[in-house]
Chains A and B, each alone.
Chain A
């Protein structure tokens, strides 16, 4: 069981908007720790997509955005493209685990 909870799968048609939720608790996201999002294309290493809740590293399209409210965070992808089909993971830190990294279980995005 992952400390952070994500839906196993989401899907959308090209051009649509999808969101992926990441639910935590008062010892991680709710404690004010930053949230990060990673994209993992098939057969490749994860790539940082969003850092510190809502910031994009250089080169990440502005179609990707992050937000946080209370003990949950969300990743939104607008203008869905075929190349967005991948696994997405959220990550934060947890005070009950001595500041360890914690991950969500991952969400498989299918572009219909």
Chain B
């Protein structure tokens, strides 16, 4: 059974840092392209960024609002995806989800989402 479990959310002051983790199981994590998506309270979904599999270069892409402040990485030996968030702003307050790519690229399970972890940026 495919499972994605996020952790690491919490309350942080503006300008602070936080690292989120997403523990994956039930599929070959090393083959998967993974993304982070966030949802501000009462708002819609917003893509944060993506990391390709190492086989496909391990490259990352980011949405404009987080580029230069957030970094996505992966540890395939631990089946874990990370989101390092620096220079946090109040507008980064959201539930953060990790998700597998819906295209199924890399023969990975399509479009699975974790339960999300809440990040609150407030003084």
Contact = CB atoms under 8 A, between A and B. Distances in A.
25 contacts: A2-B44, A34-B103, A45-B97, A45-B113, A46-B45, A46-B97, A47-B113, A48-B102, A48-B112, A48-B113, A51-B102, A51-B103, A52-B103, A57-B110, A57-B111, A87-B44, A97-B64, A100-B61, A101-B35, A101-B37, A102-B47, A103-B44, A103-B45, A106-B44, A106-B45
Interface residues of B, number: 21
Nearest to A103: B45
Nearest to B4: A45
Contacts of A105: 44
Contacts, number: 55
Given A45-B115, A52-B103, 20 more contacts: A2-B44, A34-B103, A36-B102, A36-B111, A38-B111, A45-B97, A45-B116, A47-B113, A48-B102, A48-B111, A51-B102, A51-B110, A91-B102, A97-B64, A99-B61, A100-B63, A102-B47, A103-B44, A103-B47, A106-B45
Interface in B71-123: 97, 102-104, 110-116
Interface of A: 2, 34, 36, 38, 45-48, 51-52, 57, 87, 89, 91, 97-106
B40 to A, nearest CB: 12
A104 B45 CA distance: 8
Interface string B37-78: 100000011110010000000000101100000000000000
A100 B103 contact: no
Contacts of B97: 45-46
B110 A101 contact: no
Contacts of B113: 45-48
